[in-house]
A and B are shown apart, each in its own frame.
Chain A
C-alpha cells in the first residue's frame, strides 16, 4: 500500500507571529520556517506503517514556494521515499489544495492519505475533509490511533468529551491530532541520504487546478490585548476579591 503525506511549510511553532504594520498579514520575512507540526506527525505515522510492513511506499507532497523543497527534504530524511513539489508563490486555499491532492491521488492511487488536522498558520482544519469529499473516500479526522486491518482502517478520534473509534473502508483519509505519535528526528546519515531521493517539481496547472482565491483577506490585525491586573498579597486578599465579585461556595 502506498501512503500519500501532504506537508506544509509554515512559520515555526516556537516563533511568535508578528502582524505586519500595514495589516496585510503576518510577517514571514527572515523568520524560521518549519514543517507544520501536525504534518510531521502524519509523516511519522506513515513511516511507522511502513516499518510494520503495512505500507510499501511513502510519497510526500507539498504545495508552496521553491523553499518548500526544504520541508520535503525533511520528510525524506525522516523516511519518506520520494517527493512532489507543486510549486507556486500564491497562497493556496484548502479547497484548491484538496483539488491538487485529489489529482495526485488519482495518479498515485494511495491506500491512505495522512494529513495534519490543520496547519498552524491559517488554522483552517479543512483540507483533509475536503479531499475526502472530492475523492469520495471515508475520513478519520483528529486521529490518536490508526490501525490498518485488511481492507479497512480503524481510527480512534479525539472528540469533545473523549475518544471515538470509527472503521473506514480503504482507501481513506486520516488527519492527525497531537497525541497520535511523537515524530522522530532525522539522523545525519538520513539527512545526507535524503538529498539523493527523487523530488519532482510540478505546477498547479499541471493538475488542471485553478488556485484563484475564493476568500479575500481584507485585513489582519492584532488581537485585543489583555492587560495585567493586580497581584494580591495572600489568599485572604484573593478570597476578598473573589467574594466581592460574587464568587464563593
Chain B
C-alpha cells in the first residue's frame, strides 16, 4: 500500500504531530509525504530526512501558504490518484483538510485512529473517549486522521526520501487568509511537552493562575495547560485547554491543580504516564485517575512544591 502523509509545518520546521502520523502510515505500507506551502524548500529537506520516508511531494505555491482547504484538498485528491491512503495528523489543520479530501474521493474518513489493527481495520475513540470502536473500512482508498499521542514519533533524521515537485493546483478563488493570533511561548508545546502543569477553576482568577501555576511550570520547564472551566472563566486563552474539546495530551507527568476531573477533561489527559493531582476536595474525581494525589489547599501546597522540587 502506498500512503501519502500530510506534513504539518510552520513554514520552517516539521511539526511533531507529523512524526506520529508517519509511524501510523508505516504500519500500512510505503510512506510518501506531501509538503505544501510557499517557500518550503527547507521544510521539504527536513521532511525527507524523517526515518522511513520514500518520496516527498512538494507543492510550492502561494495558494498553499495558509493551508486553505479549498486549495489544498483538490491537490491532495489529485495525488491520491496514485496513492492508496491519505494520512493526516488529527490537528486542527488535518481535521480541516482530510474530510474535504475524503468527500472529493467519495470515501468515508476514519477519524483520530488510536491503532492500526489490519490493512483496513483501526481503533478510534467515540463518545469523548468513553468507548473505543474497532472499525473496518470497505472503501477502495483510505483517508485517516491520527491521534498524535497514540503513536510513537518517527525519528526525525536518518531517512533519505527523494524530493519531487508537484505542479498541480492553485487558488480555487473561494477563500483567503486574513490573519492569525498565535500565542508565542518560550515553553514546550502542550501536545509534545514532557511535563504539563494545568490549572482549574479553583484558582479563581487569571492573576492567581500566573502567581501559582506559572512558577511551578517554570521550575520544571513544563508546558502550561488548563481545564475548560478555567478557560471559560477567562483565566487563560483557549489554546491552553486540555480536554475532549481542547488538546489531547499524554506527557510523562501531568499536574492537575485545582481541577475536579470532569469527564471531558479526563478524556484529554488520561493517557499521561503519571498524573499528579492537587485539590482540597478529597472526593474530586481527579483522584480516581491520579497516581499521586495530595489533598491540600493549592494556594499553600503549590508554592511549597515549587520551592522544594
Note all chain A residues with C-beta closer than 8 A to B91.
160
- Given A158-B92, A215-B108, A234-B294 in contact, is the A166-B178 Cβ separation under 8 Å? yes
Segment touching A, from B31-39, B40-48, B65-73, B78-86: B65-73
With most chain B CB atoms within 10 A of its CB, the pick from A127, A130, A154, A217 is: A130
Which of A123, A131, A219 contacts B127, CB < 8 Å?
A: A123
Least CB separation from B15: chain A residue: A160
A69, CB-defined interface residue at 8 Å? no
Tell me if A87 is interfacial: C-beta within 8 Å of chain B.
Answer: no
The CA-CA distance from A154 to B296 in the complex, in Å, is 47
Given contacts A139-B100, A165-B180, 14 further A-B contacts (CB under 8 A): A98-B103, A123-B127, A129-B96, A129-B98, A129-B100, A129-B103, A133-B103, A136-B174, A166-B178, A167-B177, A167-B178, A214-B108, A215-B137, A234-B294
For the complex of A and B, 3 pairs with smallest distance between CB atoms = A229-B291, A129-B99, A133-B103
**Bound form: Cα–Cα A228–B292 in Å:** 8
Please determine whether B93 and A160 come into contact, CB atoms closer than 8 angstroms: yes
The stretch among B54-62, B109-117, B158-166, B200-208 that forms the contact with chain A is B109-117
Within 207-266 of B, Cβ neighbours of A (below 8 Å) are at: 219-221, 228, 232, 237-239, 244-245, 247, 252-253, 263
Decide yes or no whether B125 CB sits under 8 A from chain A.
yes
In the bound complex, CA of A164 to CA of B178 (Å): 8
Q: B100-134 CB contact bits vs A (8 Å, 1 = yes)? A: 11111011111110000000010001111111111
- With A129-B100, A163-B180 as contacts: A232 and B291 at CB distance below 8 Å: no
Complex Cα gap A226–B272 (Å): 10
> Taking CB as reference atom, which chain B residue is nearest A141?
B96
B128 → A minimal CB distance (Å)? 7
Tell me if B152 is interfacial: C-beta within 8 Å of chain A: no
**Interface status of A108 (Cβ within 8 A of chain B):** no
Distance of A136 Cα from B132 Cα, bound (Å): 33
Q: How far is the CA of A222 from the CA of B274 in the complex (A)?
A: 21
- Cross-chain contact B95 with A141 (CB below 8 angstroms): yes
Say yes or no: B127 contacts A139, CB within 8 Å.
no
**Contact indicator A169/B95 (Cβ below 8 Å):** no
A238 to B244, CA, bound (A): 28
Min C-beta distance of B288 to chain A, whole Å: 5
User: Which of the 9-residue segments A57-65, A73-81, A192-200, A241-249 touches chain B?
Assistant: A241-249
Q: Which residues of A contact B (CB under 8 A)?
A: 11, 16-17, 19, 26, 93-95, 98, 120-134, 136-139, 141-142, 144, 154, 157-169, 177-179, 213-223, 226, 228-232, 234-236, 238-239, 241-243, 245, 247-249
Q: What B residues does A125 contact at CB under 8 A?
A: 95, 99, 111
What string of 1s and 0s marks CB contacts (under 8 Å) between B271-309 and chain A?
000111000000000011111111110000100110011
- List, in ascending order, chain B residues with CB within 8 A of A242's CB: 253, 276, 292, 309
Do residues B237 and A133 form an inter-chain contact, with CB atoms below 8 A?
Answer: no
Closest to A120 in B: B128
Min Cβ gap A164→B in Å is 4
CA distance A154 to B178 in the complex (A): 9
Q: What CA separation (Å) do A123 and B264 show in the bound complex?
A: 13
| A161 and B239 form a contact (CB under 8 A) | yes
Please state if B220 and A178 are interface contacts (CB–CB under 8 Å): no
Q: Which secondary structure characterizes the binding site on chain B?
A: mixed
Cα distance, A118 to B161, chains bound together (Å): 36
B107 adjacent to A95 (CB under 8 Å): yes
Which chain A residues lie closer than 8 Å to B107 at the CB level?
A: 95, 214
Contact (Cβ within 8 A) B292 A232:
yes
CA distance A235 to B242 in the complex (A): 25
Pair B291/A169 contact, Cβ less than 8 Å: no
**Does B9 have its Cβ within 8 Å of any Cβ on chain A?**
no
Measured CA separation A223–B174 after assembly (Å):
41
Provided the pairs A93-B108, A169-B174 are in contact, do residues A221 and B304 lie with their beta carbons within 8 angstroms?
A: no
Is B174 within 8 A of A168, CB to CB?
A: yes
List residues of chain A with CB within 8 A of the CB of B125: 123, 223
CB distance from A162 to the nearest CB of B (A): 4
Shortest Cβ distance from A140 into chain B, in angstroms? 8
A-chain residues with CB within 8 Å of residue B136 when the two chains form the complex: 215-216, 218
Could you name 14 residue pairs across A and B whose Cβ atoms are closer than 8 Å? A17-B127, A26-B127, A130-B103, A160-B239, A215-B135, A218-B121, A220-B131, A222-B131, A230-B292, A235-B294, A245-B253, A245-B274, A247-B195, A248-B309
